[in-house]
Structure 1
Amino acid sequence: MLIPVLSLGLCIGAASVKAEETLDQQLEQPTDADHPSSGPWNVTLGLGAGYAPRFEGAKRYHFTPIPYGSVSYSGLGSIGPEGLGANIVKSGGFRAGLLVGYTSGRDENDDPHLQGLGNISGSLQMGGYAAYQWQGFEVRTKVLQAVTHSGNGLVGSVGVTYALHPATDWMVKVGPQLSFADSDHMKRYFGVTGTQSRNSGLSTYTANGGLNDISVGANATYQISPHWLLFGIAKVSELVGDAADSPIVQDKGQVFTGAGLAYHF
């Protein structure tokens, strides 16, 4: 779910790379309910290492840092790698609110296959989310629109997670997710213009908006002590629709794994 003590949290959020941003942050990051606190502040800070595709659709992988954690106060909102979230509506198991986040874009030097396509600038995003919890299940959707470098477009997701406790010190969250984007985002990340085609050697391609990713992920945490915990993350996804047909995509199937250590207080 979200980011560390204001300026620190925003730095961690901005450091997130595109490979991690394709993960469902709700599945990847802790929530207040995961690790309750006795006071109004609920803080979890951690860092790990992941093995991820160099870009969406890449066949090459690399190791990359994983920021993990959230800072929240009295259930009013939180800040973490997903961005800043403010709870506007809370009623029973339902909540909804506003999100402010950041996407890091893409650099043509990230992978030889991207040479000639040019860079995609990072952008500030604004949007909202809604979620409903029932017993161990949670259904969540979010939508974010780029407000700087607005040509990066709109992205969103709909997912379901189920939390279970196989042992006292263990918690596991698993679930599927659907990701979608508008035509601006799809053209920016998966389209190839005439100029890009001449520079890269890839065929020209126009990508339209719609569903672009189907995935299943899992997040497991192990409580080492009252404050320290280990976390592990895994996700398998498949690019679909116009994203899957793009000449930029080398492999429709994508895998992400990672693990790390966090401190809760």
Structure 2
Amino acid sequence: MKMSRLLALSPVLLALSVSTGAGAAEQEQPPGGSDTQAKPLTVALGAGAERLPSWLGAADSKTRGVPYININWQERVEFSTVDGLVIDLVHQDRWHGGLVGTMLWGRSRSDLGTLADRGVPTLNNTLQAGTYLEYDVTKALSVGVRLRHDIQGTGAAYGDIYASLDLPAVGYVEHSLRVAGEAMNRTAMRRFFGVSSEAAASLGTPGYRPDGGLSQVSVTYDAFIPTSQSTGVAFAASYGRLAHNAADSPLVQDFGRSSQRSLMAAFVYHF
């Protein structure tokens, strides 16, 4: 599995990853560098910042620091502070699949602003566990599906299908494009987009209890610019569009927007 193929599903998530950069720098070295044999264990460290929606469906954005750690063992086990945990149990020529563990950001009072005083609940960050299956159509193109659920007992479950394409390199710049469709079960949809009768009265909107289904479609472009054999700058830009029941929520219609944009840049050192 390539490190760029499994971005954490986050509204954000989603989809903003430095891991592509770490993999790209291994494939091609900047001028003056020399090729080295693939290592069984690679470690990447980095730091940067990202700009993303304050909460899933928000119209305003927030900026936060991005500490980054990525540990990859033989392309079979990968742990990342961005992507979570991926264990490839299949590890065949074209097929990959196994277990995943991720984290999904919630929303705090500072994220919600005045909405928190009007009955919109905060949400804790949650950990997910699940499984994935991926197929390499070509050397550059892969498609996959992933299923996860909260392990905290919220009853929320998530799924996504995706296609990831490695674009032709531009000099020493490696870059890729990813298209994904994400879905939530009814519990997850109501957790993020539902409006209780009490909150509706305070907000002046109808109550809202959506069913599960497609929640978002997104496109992510990421790139890595090597600055030496061991360092480089990673960049990612993502555009997502909330769909159907998610987009129809009064939280989105009256206080947010269905278009969700994210940007990330980080400096990465790998060894």
Residue in 2 that maps onto 1:248:
251
Identity between Structure 1 and Structure 2 (%)? 23
From 206, 227, 251, the equivalent of 1:224 is 227
| C-alpha deviation, 1:209, in angstroms | 0.5
CA distance in 2: counterparts of 1:42 and 1:67, whole angstroms: 17
* 2-structure distance, mates of 1:67, 1:142: 25
Question: In the superposition, relative to structure 1, how do residues 155 and 17 fare at CA in structure 2: closer, same or farther (>3 Å)?
Answer: closer
The aligned counterpart of 2:34 is none
Residues 138-149 of structure 1: pairs in structure 2 closer than 5 A: 138-149=142-153
Mapped to 2, the partners of 1:50 and 1:112 lie a distance apart of 20
State whether residues 231 and 261 of structure 1, in contact with CA within 8 Å, keep that contact through their aligned partners in structure 2.
Answer: yes
User: Which amino acid in 2 is paired with 1:87?
Assistant: D
1:24 matches 2:15: yes
Question: Shift of residue 183 of structure 1?
Answer: 0.4
Q: Does the Cα contact within 8 Å between 2:21 and 2:225 map onto a contact in 1? A: no
Higher deviation after alignment, 235-244 or 67-76: 67-76
- Distance in 2 (CA, whole Å) between partners of 1:113 and 1:95 is 45
Provide the C-alpha distance between the structure 2 equivalents of 1:237 and 1:61, rounded to a whole number of angstroms: 14
User: Please, which of 258, 263, 268 is the counterpart of residue 257 of structure 1?
Assistant: 263
My pick for the range that moved more, 209-218 or 57-66, is 57-66
Query: What residue is the counterpart of 2:185 in the other structure?
Result: 182
> Displacement of 1:186 after TM fit?
0.1
Match of residue 64 from structure 2: 64
AA aligned to 1:100 is G
| Matched residue, 2:106 | 105
Task: Supply the distance in 1 between the matched residues of 2:165 and 2:145 (Cα, whole angstroms).
Answer: 15
Distance 2:243 2:46 in 1: 33
SS in 1 for 2:199: helix
Distance 2:58 2:260 in 1: 8
User: Are 1:34 and 2:7 matched, yes or no?
Assistant: no
Name 1:85's counterpart in structure 2: 86
Q: How much does 1:187 deviate? A: 0.6
Unmatched tracts of structure 1, length 5 or more: 3-15
What SS does structure 2 have at the residue aligned with 1:186?
Answer: helix
**What whole-Å deviation, never above 9, does each CA across 1:227-252 have from its counterpart, x for those lacking one?**
00111110111111100000111211
* Range 62-71 or range 31-40, more displaced: 31-40
Name which structure has the greater RCO, CA cutoff 8 Å, separation 6+: 2
- Which residue pairs with 2:125 in the alignment? 122
SS of the residue aligned with 1:119?
coil
CA pair 17-131 structure 1, distance change in 2 beyond 3 A? closer
Q: Which moved more, 1:59-68 or 1:42-51?
A: 59-68
- Measured in 1, the distance between the counterparts of 2:88 and 2:142 equals 16
**How far, CA to CA, are the matches of 1:160 and 1:48 in structure 2?**
26
Kindly tell me: are residues 42 and 239 of structure 1, through their superposed partners in 2, closer, same or farther at Cα, counting changes over 3 Å? Answer: same
Map of 2:159 onto structure 1: 156
RMSD, aligned α-carbons: 2.3
Letter in 2 for 1:102: M
C-alpha distance in structure 2 between counterparts of 1:28 and 1:238, whole Å: 22
CA 1:49–1:33 in 2, change beyond 3 Å: closer, same or farther? closer
Residues in 1 aligned to 2:131 and 2:170: alpha-carbon distance in whole angstroms? 34
Q: Which has the larger radius of gyration?
A: 2
Deviation at residue 156 of structure 1 after TM alignment: 1.8
Q: One-letter code of the match for 1:164?
A: L
Tell me which amino acid in the other structure corresponds to 2:104: T
Distance 1:28 1:207 in 2: 34
CA distance in 1, matches of 2:114, 2:206: 13
Q: Does the 8 A contact of 1:30 with 1:69 survive in 2?
A: no
Cα offset for 1:17? 11
Report the number of matched residues. 249
The code of the aligned residue for 1:50 comes to E
Q: TM-score w.r.t. structure 2 length? A: 0.84
Residues 1:113 and 1:143: Cα distance change in structure 2 (over 3 Å) = farther
Alpha carbons of structure 1 residues 35 and 140: separation in structure 2 relative to 1, 3 Å? farther
